[in-house]
Protein backbone atom coordinates (compact mmCIF):
# COMPACT_ATOMS: atom_id res chain seq x y z
CA UNK A 1 0.00 0.00 0.00
CA UNK A 2 2.85 2.37 0.87
CA UNK A 3 4.47 1.73 -2.51
CA UNK A 4 1.25 2.76 -4.22
CA UNK A 5 0.96 6.04 -2.30
CA UNK A 6 4.37 7.34 -3.41
CA UNK A 7 3.53 7.50 -7.14
CA UNK A 8 0.11 9.02 -6.39
CA UNK A 9 1.66 11.67 -4.12
CA UNK A 10 4.23 12.38 -6.81
CA UNK A 11 1.46 12.86 -9.37
CA UNK A 12 -0.36 15.31 -7.07
CA UNK A 13 2.84 17.31 -6.55
CA UNK A 14 3.49 17.37 -10.29
CA UNK A 15 -0.10 18.48 -11.00
CA UNK A 16 0.15 21.23 -8.38
CA UNK A 17 3.43 22.46 -9.89
CA UNK A 18 1.89 22.50 -13.39
CA UNK A 19 -1.15 24.46 -12.15
CA UNK A 20 1.07 26.97 -10.39
CA UNK A 21 3.21 27.49 -13.48
CA UNK A 22 0.15 27.63 -15.76
CA UNK A 23 -0.86 30.90 -14.09
CA UNK A 24 2.59 32.31 -13.47
CA UNK A 25 1.37 35.90 -13.86
CA UNK A 26 -1.83 37.51 -12.68
CA UNK A 27 -2.75 40.96 -13.90
CA UNK A 28 -4.93 42.32 -11.09
CA UNK A 29 -8.46 43.64 -11.52
CA UNK A 30 -8.44 47.42 -11.67
CA UNK A 31 -5.38 47.56 -13.93
CA UNK A 32 -5.79 50.29 -16.55
CA UNK A 33 -5.30 49.48 -20.22
CA UNK A 34 -4.80 52.59 -22.36
CA UNK A 35 -5.56 51.77 -25.99
CA UNK A 36 -5.56 53.65 -29.30
CA UNK A 37 -8.48 52.71 -31.56
CA UNK A 38 -7.61 51.23 -34.95
CA UNK A 39 -11.24 51.48 -36.10
CA UNK A 40 -13.89 54.17 -35.91
CA UNK A 41 -17.04 53.18 -33.99
CA UNK A 42 -20.36 55.00 -33.67
CA UNK A 43 -23.84 54.72 -32.24
CA UNK A 44 -24.98 53.81 -35.77
CA UNK A 45 -23.00 50.54 -35.55
CA UNK A 46 -24.80 47.39 -34.36
CA UNK A 47 -24.37 45.95 -30.87
CA UNK A 48 -21.78 43.17 -30.93
CA UNK A 49 -19.66 44.72 -33.69
CA UNK A 50 -16.01 44.06 -32.97
CA UNK A 51 -13.27 46.67 -33.17
CA UNK A 52 -9.52 46.59 -32.76
CA UNK A 53 -7.03 48.79 -30.96
CA UNK A 54 -3.42 48.71 -29.79
CA UNK A 55 -1.92 49.20 -26.35
CA UNK A 56 -0.58 52.72 -26.00
CA UNK A 57 1.63 51.73 -23.04
CA UNK A 58 3.15 48.35 -22.15
CA UNK A 59 1.28 46.16 -19.68
CA UNK A 60 3.71 45.64 -16.79
CA UNK A 61 3.16 43.49 -13.70
CA UNK A 62 5.78 43.42 -10.90
CA UNK A 63 8.41 44.84 -13.23
CA UNK A 64 7.77 42.24 -15.95
CA UNK A 65 6.39 43.35 -19.33
CA UNK A 66 3.40 41.14 -20.08
CA UNK A 67 2.37 42.91 -23.29
CA UNK A 68 4.46 45.47 -25.16
CA UNK A 69 3.29 48.84 -26.42
CA UNK A 70 1.53 48.24 -29.74
CA UNK A 71 0.06 44.88 -28.68
CA UNK A 72 -3.23 44.24 -30.50
CA UNK A 73 -6.40 44.24 -28.39
CA UNK A 74 -9.98 43.66 -29.45
CA UNK A 75 -13.32 44.85 -28.17
CA UNK A 76 -16.98 45.04 -28.99
CA UNK A 77 -19.86 47.46 -28.92
CA UNK A 78 -21.90 46.59 -25.82
CA UNK A 79 -24.73 49.01 -26.56
CA UNK A 80 -25.52 51.60 -29.18
CA UNK A 81 -28.60 53.67 -29.78
CA UNK A 82 -29.33 56.59 -32.03
CA UNK A 83 -31.52 59.40 -30.79
CA UNK A 84 -35.01 59.68 -32.17
CA UNK A 85 -35.76 62.54 -34.53
CA UNK A 86 -37.78 64.52 -31.97
CA UNK A 87 -36.50 63.28 -28.59
CA UNK A 88 -33.84 61.00 -27.20
CA UNK A 89 -30.08 60.80 -26.94
CA UNK A 90 -27.50 58.81 -28.94
CA UNK A 91 -25.42 56.50 -26.76
CA UNK A 92 -22.45 54.19 -27.23
CA UNK A 93 -20.77 51.73 -24.83
CA UNK A 94 -17.57 49.78 -25.60
CA UNK A 95 -15.54 47.17 -23.74
CA UNK A 96 -12.41 45.14 -24.45
CA UNK A 97 -12.78 41.40 -24.98
CA UNK A 98 -9.34 40.02 -25.92
CA UNK A 99 -5.63 40.81 -25.88
CA UNK A 100 -3.04 39.01 -28.02
CA UNK A 101 -0.18 37.78 -25.81
CA UNK A 102 2.56 35.61 -27.29
CA UNK A 103 0.38 34.97 -30.34
CA UNK A 104 -2.57 33.75 -28.26
CA UNK A 105 -5.83 35.64 -27.79
CA UNK A 106 -6.46 35.90 -24.05
CA UNK A 107 -9.97 36.88 -22.92
CA UNK A 108 -10.26 40.05 -20.82
CA UNK A 109 -13.20 41.54 -18.98
CA UNK A 110 -13.13 45.31 -18.66
CA UNK A 111 -15.28 48.19 -17.57
CA UNK A 112 -17.14 50.01 -20.32
CA UNK A 113 -16.26 53.23 -22.06
CA UNK A 114 -19.52 55.15 -22.45
CA UNK A 115 -20.43 58.20 -24.50
CA UNK A 116 -23.74 60.03 -24.90
CA UNK A 117 -24.73 62.80 -27.26
CA UNK A 118 -26.88 65.82 -26.62
CA UNK A 119 -30.60 65.27 -26.23
CA UNK A 120 -32.47 65.77 -29.50
CA UNK A 121 -35.40 67.19 -27.48
CA UNK A 122 -33.40 70.41 -26.98
CA UNK A 123 -32.91 70.70 -30.72
CA UNK A 124 -36.66 70.26 -31.33
CA UNK A 125 -37.46 72.93 -28.73
CA UNK A 126 -34.91 75.35 -30.23
CA UNK A 127 -36.31 74.90 -33.72
CA UNK A 128 -39.89 75.30 -32.54
CA UNK A 129 -38.92 78.46 -30.62
CA UNK A 130 -37.08 79.92 -33.59
CA UNK A 131 -40.05 79.15 -35.83
CA UNK A 132 -42.41 80.83 -33.36
CA UNK A 133 -40.26 83.98 -33.25
CA UNK A 134 -40.07 84.20 -37.03
CA UNK A 135 -43.80 83.49 -37.39
CA UNK A 136 -44.69 86.10 -34.75
CA UNK A 137 -42.53 88.70 -36.48
CA UNK A 138 -44.31 88.05 -39.78
CA UNK A 139 -47.93 87.44 -38.73
CA UNK A 140 -48.34 88.09 -35.00
CA UNK A 141 -49.96 85.47 -32.73
CA UNK A 142 -51.26 83.18 -35.48
CA UNK A 143 -47.88 83.24 -37.19
CA UNK A 144 -46.16 82.24 -33.96
CA UNK A 145 -48.21 79.04 -33.73
CA UNK A 146 -47.61 78.19 -37.37
CA UNK A 147 -43.90 78.97 -37.05
CA UNK A 148 -43.56 76.76 -33.97
CA UNK A 149 -45.28 73.89 -35.79
CA UNK A 150 -42.99 74.30 -38.80
CA UNK A 151 -39.88 74.46 -36.55
CA UNK A 152 -40.91 71.28 -34.73
CA UNK A 153 -41.65 69.56 -38.05
CA UNK A 154 -38.16 70.34 -39.35
CA UNK A 155 -36.78 68.44 -36.35
CA UNK A 156 -38.81 65.41 -37.35
CA UNK A 157 -37.32 65.59 -40.85
CA UNK A 158 -33.75 66.04 -39.63
CA UNK A 159 -31.80 62.87 -38.78
CA UNK A 160 -30.46 62.56 -35.23
CA UNK A 161 -26.80 63.12 -34.41
CA UNK A 162 -24.80 59.93 -33.87
CA UNK A 163 -22.01 59.79 -31.32
CA UNK A 164 -18.78 58.09 -32.16
CA UNK A 165 -15.15 57.54 -31.36
CA UNK A 166 -12.71 58.20 -34.18
CA UNK A 167 -9.82 56.00 -35.23
CA UNK A 168 -6.69 57.01 -33.31
CA UNK A 169 -8.57 58.09 -30.17
CA UNK A 170 -7.05 57.07 -26.82
CA UNK A 171 -9.42 55.26 -24.45
CA UNK A 172 -8.92 53.95 -20.90
CA UNK A 173 -10.38 50.61 -19.81
CA UNK A 174 -9.97 48.95 -16.40
CA UNK A 175 -9.83 45.21 -15.92
CA UNK A 176 -13.06 44.17 -14.16
CA UNK A 177 -11.57 40.73 -13.41
CA UNK A 178 -8.00 39.55 -12.99
CA UNK A 179 -6.22 38.30 -16.10
CA UNK A 180 -4.48 34.97 -15.48
CA UNK A 181 -1.58 34.18 -17.79
Whether residues 153 and 64 fall in one domain: no
Taking a C-beta distance cutoff of 8 angstroms, is the pair 168, 37 a contact?
yes
**E-strand stretches of 82-135:** 91-101, 104-107, 113-116
Whether residues 142 and 171 fall in one domain: no
Counted domains in the chain: 2
CA distance 161 to 74: 26
Whether residues 88 and 153 fall in one domain: no
pLDDT of residue 90: 87
Whether residues 83 and 171 fall in one domain: yes
Here the CATH number for the domain that contains residue 44 is 2.40.128.260
Per-residue pLDDT of the chain (181 residues; tens, 9 = 90+): 556 556 555 555 555 455 444 558 999 999 999 999 999 999 999 999 999 999 999 999 999 999 999 999 999 999 988 775 444 678 999 999 999 999 999 999 999 999 987 654 455 455 445 544 554 556 555 655 554 455 444 544 444 578 899 999 999 999 999 999 9
Q: Is residue 50 part of a domain?
A: yes
Q: Which residues pair with 170 in a beta bridge?
A: 36
Q: Is residue 135 part of a domain?
A: yes
Question: In Å, what is the CA distance from 160 to each residue of 25, 44, 113, 148, 157?
Answer: 47, 10, 21, 19, 9
Domain extent for 133: 120-159
Whether residues 87 and 147 fall in one domain: no
Taking a C-beta distance cutoff of 8 angstroms, is the pair 21, 43 a contact?
no
- In 10 A of CB 71, how many CB atoms? 19
Q: Which residues pair with 33 in a beta bridge?
A: 173
Whether residues 151 and 175 fall in one domain: no
Whether residues 142 and 81 fall in one domain: no
pLDDT of residue 3: 61
| 0.85 surpassed by pTM | no
Q: Is residue 52 part of a domain?
A: yes
Question: In Å, what is the CA distance from 13 to each residue of 6, 7, 17, 19, 128?
Answer: 11, 10, 6, 10, 77
Whether residues 80 and 152 fall in one domain: no
Whether residues 88 and 176 fall in one domain: yes
Amino acid sequence: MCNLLKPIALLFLLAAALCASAHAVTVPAGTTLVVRLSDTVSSNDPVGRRFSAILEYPLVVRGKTIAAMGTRVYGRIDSSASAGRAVGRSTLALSLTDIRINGVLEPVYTTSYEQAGASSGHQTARRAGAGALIGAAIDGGRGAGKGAAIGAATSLLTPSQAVGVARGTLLDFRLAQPLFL
